[in-house]
Structure 1
């Protein structure tokens, strides 16, 4: 399969929101090994390319914007009535001929605002002419602004902004706009689809986060737990894994845990990791649900800024630690909008948690001058399941946590690609 993106950009400034949308779509296509070409105006500067636009896998194609050696000047034909300039159809024919040559090797052509913008009326007409010779090419026409009202009276070629093109699917970024989109182009709503704009949270994050994302799914889970600390039994990593497994079993949600660990002299890392995994597995997790950052190249821990970045993605922080003098990671997790579950039996965590409205559970703990030991009835696993259900319900009912989770999960490039854009390329 080969896909062309037709934009007719004259530049790639990030202040133009459509440039960012196209950049995200390019990443989706290239990440899925789809051959891709981008069609821009011949006057788009080569040195404008940056980021994904510099990817060597992209085939850059410049569409002619000249006739008889003179530059074609675009006019804004946003009104449905009137006349076009004298040389309009000659210019459209020249562009159409060039488009036929440059689209002859692709299967799909994704157009961005070509049918919508009055400035692109000449390209609207040109692509319709080109389509007459590109009979097997499928078109996907994106509209990125509020659909225009279908006028009662319109003149050709200005009416092209309100007329359907054969073999074309019309796309809008929200479901609410589909009826208006269908009316603008006089097509059934069944010929319209939704492709949301995506938010690429990963794009501006550190190299460490990029590597974690290559090795672990940090975007699609309902519950993402991050727990940083020295790999010592006192931090009770196995309790985090067990509660995470109980939450997964009880709620049937997808749960992932990232342990930002570094080795301790207290216990051999391999042995303790096995204990942690077995605790998680026995309560419902599987091998794909747990990641130790020490296993992907960070045996001495990841930078603090990377932990904070992970906390900006996660939504649940569990701290069953046996002993704490303060609990700085609690503040770090809270500052990045995580639901806090703390060990009530640890005085420092109880004090801090009360100020932060944390949710409390009880694990074995060290107090001032004595230690405490918990006895769970009927079992520790049942205790986790009971509280796990409450925790999930509280997260669901928290508007801020819900929004944070939805942005990471539902509006990620991965979700948009798999559920909205890729299906358009399978028709």
Structure 2
């Protein structure tokens, strides 16, 4: 299946919702391995989108509508002939610039192309007028060989009435707004999120520490707490962000066996970042990204004056579970934290001197103690599920994949109503996305572009007919 996004974009603007939304849709297609091209105006100088092809020409809007429609129809017949599904960006309702001409052209060539069209309607629906002679009829009648796509499902009946469409000809696909794109998370953060399936986890913790001091930093308490949460029935994700690991492989392997003996599965419930990053420390940006997604931070270090990672967890809004033996943590953790008994170093006594190490004896055992803490902890865990409500993955699996498969079936003359979520093959992530810096970019046009009030349909007065 080959897909085209026929946008006519002549420039990109980070504050313009249409551009940002289609940026995310393109990334969604890329993420799930769809063979697609993002078609933009051939004079577009910016290259921000995956699979961008600068190929669509423009015409001065001062020319007669019928001439412009014929011009675009000839372009579409040539450019779009090899595609099976075509997405358009708000072409079916807008009237300014060349919108009506493109609308008329797309309708006229639909019968000559093999593709099925999915026309996104980004504008709010309106009541259908009693009379709508051409060219206004282009804005109030159902285009051939197509679906209409709206940004919410509540108003689909009104949209269908506006275009005289049948219910199965209109689909809802939300605007994607992925937290990873919004915060421009780096590919390593994306990979860790995918490895542990963090969007589906109820308890998430990142634990940055030095591999040479993993026991002193309280890794056992972190693991016991997460294992207790899992025993209570919650899906968990523990990111062990360990630095200085090259000479500690044996210790890490032994600790992995111990962690699995506590009931956590390597690669599903927890992972060591050193094996994903060639034993390099996790970049600070990646750590900050993962703290944004975390809702739990257990910290049972033997000795601290403050704890840098504790501070990062607190400002990230994690529920804190802290050692009750360290005064600094009680001072800064506040009454919202949960304080637990763990092994610790006695303040003021040098290492290896009498009384240095204080070991806690749990009664009847450690599992029972941490299970009781989990009962208190779980109701207090912040709910982070809202972060993934508009994610690329959710919208793909619940909305866009089905639309795409139905459109593909229709393009082949098959009964698309037989295509459902239970009949299509589940798709897997094939690409970890690079940051595109879409939200940091704030240019409306590339160099030498004429400016208009329509950033998605720039006029080009210097193009010959």
Q: Common fold, TM-score beyond 0.5?
A: yes
Change (3 A) 1:179 1:270: farther
Q: CA deviation at 1:393?
A: 2.3
Work out whether 1:160 is the aligned partner of 2:142.
no
Among 101, 105, 109, the alignment partner of 1:126 is: 105
Work out whether 1:90 is the aligned partner of 2:90.
no
CA distance in 2, matches of 1:423, 1:180: 22
How do 1:358-377 and structure 2 match up within 5 A? 358-368=337-347, 372-377=358-363
CA distance in 2, matches of 1:245, 1:340: 16
Among 88, 101, 118, the alignment partner of 1:111 is: 88
Q: Which residue of 1 aligns with 2:119?
A: 141
Q: Which residue of 2 aligns with 1:383?
A: 369
Residue by residue, what CA displacement relative to the aligned partner does 1:257-294 show, whole Å, maximum 9, x if unpaired? 111112489x9443244324532453243432222122
Of Structure 1 and Structure 2, the greater helix share is in: 1
CA distance in 1, matches of 2:331, 2:170: 55
Residue by residue, what CA displacement relative to the aligned partner does 1:347-389 show, whole Å, maximum 9, x if unpaired? 322222226x212333223343655444444442233334334
User: Would you say the 8 A contact 1:241–1:280 is kept in 2?
Assistant: no
Residue by residue, what CA displacement relative to the aligned partner does 1:180-214 show, whole Å, maximum 9, x if unpaired? 33332232444332222223443423465356457
CA distance in 2, matches of 1:289, 1:361: 23
CA distance in 1, matches of 2:399, 2:379: 29
Unaligned runs of 5+ residues in structure 2 are: 350-354, 407-465
Q: Which residue of 2 aligns with 1:62?
A: 55
User: Would you say the 8 A contact 1:344–1:361 is kept in 2?
Assistant: yes
SS at match of 2:262: helix
Work out whether 1:330 is the aligned partner of 2:310.
yes
CA distance in 1, matches of 2:149, 2:371: 44
SS at match of 1:235: coil
Q: Structure 1 segments of 4 or more deviating over 6 A? A: none
- Which shifted more, 281-290 or 88-97? 281-290
CA distance in 2, matches of 1:417, 1:312: 23
SS at match of 2:334: helix
Pairwise CA RMSD: 2.9
TM-score by length of 1: 0.82
Work out whether 1:257 is the aligned partner of 2:238.
yes
Residue by residue, what CA displacement relative to the aligned partner does 1:18-57 show, whole Å, maximum 9, x if unpaired? 1122222222222333221223344x42x2223xx2x4xx
- Which shifted more, 367-376 or 158-167? 367-376
Residue by residue, what CA displacement relative to the aligned partner does 1:286-337 show, whole Å, maximum 9, x if unpaired? 4322221222235353344432232122222111223222222111111122
Among 77, 99, 113, the alignment partner of 1:100 is: 77
Among 325, 348, 353, the alignment partner of 2:328 is: 348
TM-score by length of 2: 0.75
Number of equivalences: 393
Unaligned runs of 5+ residues in structure 1 are: 66-70, 75-84, 396-400
SS at match of 1:14: coil
Q: CA deviation at 1:113?
A: 0.5
